[in-house]
Chains A and B, each alone.
Chain A
Amino acid sequence: MNLKINNPFKSIWGLLLVASLFFAVPTVASQQDSTAVEAQTETTVDTAGSAEADTTAAPATDEAPATTDATVSTGTSTTTAAAAEETSKIDPQVYKNFFYYVLLFLVICTVIAVIGRIHSLYVLTKKMNGKYDPLANNTFQAILLFLFLLFFLWGTYYSFAVWGDWAWREAVTEHGKDYDQMFIVTTVLTTAVMVIMHILILTFTLIYRMRAKRKAYYYPHNDTIEKIWTIIPATVLTILVLFGFFTWRKITNVPEELQKSAIQIEVLGEQFKWSVRYPGADGKIGKRNYKLTTATNPYGIDFNDKASWDDIDATDIVIPVGKSVRFHIISKDIIHSFYIPDFRVQINAVPGMTNYFQFTPTVTTEEMRDRMNDPSYDYIMLCNKICGQGHFNMGKKVIVVTEAEYKEWLTKQGKYFTEDLQKEFAQNNTEIEVDQQTASLN
């Protein structure tokens, strides 16, 4: 080991260490003179009436306790004075903490470097004693990989047992049962493949690690084996594909009569909220035209369509258990996504087109609360397509109730065609009529 001073890396390293010490040492000392620093800050701020003096004072309080050398602190304060105006709000302790962590990291690096050096020395002495095994490290890495395998298997078990338990809730819709079944089949299959492949790879690396007098087995190909492991995944995948394809068709391809007999609900997404529209007594959702959007009619409902007059404006999505519900998903501005995790339901809300998702809930919110043993549990519909700053907070409660409760709830909801809107609409219509009359008179 030779200690050269002109080694640039060591010099840079040393400089970094010194620089961090420079900032970090006072964090230890600051406990003693923190009061002094505060007092100093107060006095400088008090005495300095003008803004200029204030900015120069700020870096001074930053640097002065760090160095105790007056000349250095004034030197740095003049150079940082311009930048200081911006950062003067930030507590100097913040910088100290930052450099404390930098120092901590550098210390760890140094420790690692020292360990590395010690290891080199150890190898060197072994070499001198003639006991050096050039493959020792190779074996060590193989053992580490095997230990990783054990960790990996334990980690897989742990994450399934703990996080899997957190994550998994049975679906509460009819199609969700098919979904869950397929999900579990796929999970078992893929986990098995993952675990077996890792066991194979990481035991091979241990067993077949390099030995001094062994040669690898020259085995460039074996067509039979290759055919087998092409055909087996292909078959398994075919089964999964068919399974998935039929489930997918079942979910998305609802027969027309069932589409019509379902309860129709329209959901409109916008930045950053959802609006829900029930069709009212006539069972028809009135027309909407985005061009009719006004401050009083933010939904853009076309009230010329009489079907819209009884449309219900609901604060939550309330649906009856055991009934097929057909959601019409639309968007007012950008793409959102209508996503209810518990229901295994998702479809994007795309401006300019209507998407549909039809499903049947099977468990009411009350029952779910009992099941989860959580009296405040609620189904939630989330926005699942990046849509701006409020994206993470754009949800709507979904409440599944019994049929009777649903009917009762419906009667209590307000309408989109509020009295104000009715007046406005009537006024507009008379204006149009007046216009038409005058036109005919002329």
Chain B
Amino acid sequence: MFAYPTVRTSFIFLAIAIAGLLVADIAITTANPWQDLGRLFWGIVTPNFFSTEGLLTALLRTVAFAFVGVALGSVCGFALSLVYRFLPVRMFCAFIRSIHELFWALIFLQFFGFHPLTGVLAIAIPYAGIFAKVYSEIFEESDPEPGRLLPPGTTAISAFLYTKIPDCWVQLRTYTAYRLECGMRSSAILGFVGLPTLGFYLESSFSQGLYSDAGAMLVLFYVLIATMPLWVRPKLLPAYVLAAPFFLGDGMPIIWGNVKRFFTEDIVPAPIRNGEGFIGLSEWMADVWVSEALPGIWNTVVLTQIALVATGILSLLAFPLISRHFGGPVRRTSGHIFLVIARSTPEYILAYILLQLWGPSMLPAVVALALHNGGIIGHLIGRQTNTIELRPDAPTGLSRYSWELLPRVYRSFLAFLFYRWEIIMRETAILGILGIYTLGFYVDSAIQNIRFDRAMVLILITALLNIGVDALGRYIRRKLALKTMPTC
């Protein structure tokens, strides 16, 4: 079995995760975790939809921010995809998408304050980077033949409009619609840093133990996501996009002097600002590295590796839940519901909830990341098994799982897992804001202490770490010849 490179790679990663578990801080520290969990479930089955009048407004804002952010991101991403073949553009896009929406929001909050633009740009910028990459991949895979037949002298724009766009239209639309769903999740969690979306009220309700209020918000959020195919119609989309900017709320006026100050003073490292020269700067840098960046990187990497393997294990356990090769319709329906909830709950919200219930350690983060990402991969693999035809005399039960299905889907399972590696790391870093000592913790601390120079250095380090893992993930996928489609 170890002759297969995919199996060898899997065991190497498993070993790294087990080693990570030995040094990681994994513990349940609350006295009564199960009692709280019970209260939470009770809250979800007894939702209180009338607690805050703000609830519907928050829902509306969540949708509005998602629409405007994703629309702007897709337009900019589209423009970037046209010039994506140039290396500087590719690097730029890799950079902007390696910074999480919440970090972008934290940056914009410092100079735009609570203006709607903060939330819009926090979604639009990283999404533009992702759109640019995926759109350009779609264009690359389009049929080159019609373009070859055009009369010479056809302008590039005409050629593009007549040959590329119609050919790619369906894929572009499908992917953009899929991203809109991701945008809803991003929009919801922006509330955690103070924007007027769902996360704002969710955080308030949870921290006060108002589980029925929080339950109502979660239920409404699931309904919103699950019914998207019903209300997001291609015909209505232009109307939504045009109307959405009017539903972002007032916020506060932008003062442009703040923008200038942020870029010319706030993020300039303190020693340079104070004229302490190169020696001051190197001491400052050394301090940031030793006391913040290195511990942050270490914890981020350890947590990412554990969460990656946990995600893999959960995906492999979860896909039979919706596979038609096992059991009856009741199990499949409940399996579907479980996976829908797991994957439509943003990992940030899952981690937040579990941290409240189990207390602070890496455990809630690992479980949250594994649930969310395992839900996504489990769903995709489960659907894939449904296209497999087994011979009539195929074994049943465990043998069917391990001898018939697993070998057939293992490669695409690994492809999805390595694709999500970078996503898991980006999320891991951001979970630090909740109090786990990953890079996000140190970024948040720097911002809380009004030290934006440090925050920016740490965000840059986080971005580089993500770009590195992304490159490594792609290298491994190429080495193992794994192909995948983008997920978010």
A joins B in a complex: no
Interface residues of A, Cβ cutoff 8 Å to B: none
B residues neighboring A (CB under 8 Å): none
